[in-house]
Every structure is written in C-alpha cells, then in structure tokens.
Amino acid sequence: MIRKHGRTSAPEVFAITGARKGLTEDVAGRQRRYVITMLVRAAAVVAAVLLWNVERHVAIAALALGTVLPYVAVVIANAGRENAAALPAAFVPTPVRPALEPTEHGGGRAEGVPEAGKPDASPS
C-alpha cells in the first residue's frame, strides 16, 4: 500500500479469526487483571480502616473483601491461557470410497478370483 508523497508503509497484517491471542498479549492481560484486583483490594482495606468507627458492618465487609481478593487475584492470574472456542478442527476425516462390486460373466462367479479351498477351474 503506497501513501501520498511517495512514502511506503509497513506491510498490511491480516488477522486469523480462529487463532488465540499471542502469549505476550495474554500475559499482559493477566497482569492487568491482577493489578486491578489488587487496587480494589487496597481500596477495600483503606475503606475498612476509615469506616471502622463510623459504619462497622461496612468496614467488616470491606475487610473480608480485602482478605479474599488476593487469593482470587492469584487464581485468575495463574489460570493460564484462554480456550479458543472457534478453532478449526485439525483432523480431516478420510473420505469413504465406495467398494467396487465384482463383474460377473456368465456362470455367476467373478472372473479371475479363485474361491477358498478350491483349485482354480479355469482352463490352462
């Protein structure tokens, strides 16, 4: 693709619809979720300290949230990569080929195929 003034740009990149996110992008997303969860935890602990003498029930709930959120944040961060739901199947089944039926000539027996246990009765 050529832009005005004779400058060329980087080659155009096409997205593959069924592919997962790249590893770097996936790790960055998990780190972002972990940091956001820990910021919510810090806010909950600060709210528990500030509300302890004002509204004790809310402060206890915020303290419980601040206690549980680190576990939740670590579990989410270590969950691993997402499952790609729409990946195309890697296995392509072999097409079924119809069997050929033997051609019959006169006597009702296939030509050139000796029967089991019987000698070939064809003239030599």
50 within domain boundaries: yes
39 within domain boundaries: yes
Q: How is residue 73 written in tokens?
A: 């944040």
| SS3 at position 123 | coil
14 within domain boundaries: no
Q: Which domain holds residue 35?
A: 21-77
Q: Name residue 94's amino acid.
A: T
41 within domain boundaries: yes
Whether the Cβ atoms of residue 102 and residue 112 lie closer than 8 Å to each other = no
Residue-wise pLDDT tens for the chain (124 aa)? 455 555 566 777 665 666 677 888 888 888 999 999 999 999 999 999 999 999 999 999 999 999 999 998 888 888 877 665 555 556 667 778 887 777 766 555 555 555 665 555 555 5
43 within domain boundaries: yes
Q: Which pLDDT does position 70 carry in this prediction? A: 92
Q: Any idea which residue has 């619809």 for tokens?
A: 17
88 within domain boundaries: no
100 within domain boundaries: no
Task: Give this prediction's pTM.
Answer: 0.51
